[in-house]
């Protein structure tokens, strides 16, 4: 709960000019940020004594604030991939139309180039739409959900031989 309050307060305070927040709301968000930090400091590991929890709370707070930056950069990367795919499509269209001349074979070459270029762009988009959700799931989601793993160690099948 403390992490959620920290994230909401931090993002809202970062966007205070855009959101046109009043002074009373800004004060409320600052108090919420302080309360979220206090919650993380006091309750992040209830198995420790109070003073040990306060001392060891630096690392969880660090991961919360650097995680915010990492999440923003992750979504900026996805946005950049989409923009790159659009620009690549425009470049393929421009080159394809520049290849068209007066003869019929220039049109055949231009159409072949357009099909090839857009096929490559589509292949890159399909690859990106497969890899990036996997990365977000395994790196971002499992990290934010405090996933610990588990299961059993892999043991390969063995063939037992009986000797009579």
> pLDDT (tens digit, 9 = 90+) per residue, 62-96?
888 887 787 788 788 888 888 999 999 999 999 99
**Residue 56: partners with Cβ closer than 8 Å, 6 or more residues away:** 44, 45, 48
In percent, how much of the chain has pLDDT > 90? Answer: 40
**Residue 120 in contact with residue 91, Cβ under 8 Å?**
no
Is 0.75 surpassed by the pTM of this model?
no
Q: Which of 36, 34, 12 is nearest to 25 (CA)?
A: 12
Residues 131-156 have a mean pLDDT of: 75
Quick check: helix, strand or coil at residue 151? coil
**Residue 124 in contact with residue 85, Cβ under 8 Å?**
yes
Quick one: pLDDT at residue 7? 87
**Residue 106 in contact with residue 99, Cβ under 8 Å?**
yes
Q: Is the pLDDT of residue 34 over 80?
A: yes
pLDDT, tens digit, 9 for 90 and up, residues 2-27: 888 998 998 899 899 899 999 999 99
CA atoms within 13 A on the CB side of 88: 16
């Amino acid at each position: 709960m403390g992490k959620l309050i920290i994230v909401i307060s931090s993002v809202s305070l970062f966007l205070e000019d855009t959101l046109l927040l009043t002074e009373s709301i800004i004060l409320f968000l600052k108090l919420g940020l302080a309360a979220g930090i206090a919650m993380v400091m006091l309750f992040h590991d209830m198995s420790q004594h109070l003073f040990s929890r306060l001392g060891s709370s630096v690392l969880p707070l660090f991961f919360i604030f650097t995680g915010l930056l990492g999440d923003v950069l992750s979504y900026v990367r996805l946005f950049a991939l989409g923009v790159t795919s659009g620009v690549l499509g425009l470049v393929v269209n421009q080159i394809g139309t520049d290849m068209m001349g007066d003869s019929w074979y220039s049109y055949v070459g231009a159409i072949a180039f357009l099909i090839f270029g857009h096929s490559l762009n589509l292949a890159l988009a399909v690859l990106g739409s497969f890899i990036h959700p996997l990365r977000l799931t395994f790196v971002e989601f499992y990290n934010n959900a405090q996933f610990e793993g588990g299961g059993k160690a892999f043991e390969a099948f063995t063939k037992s031989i009986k000797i009579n």
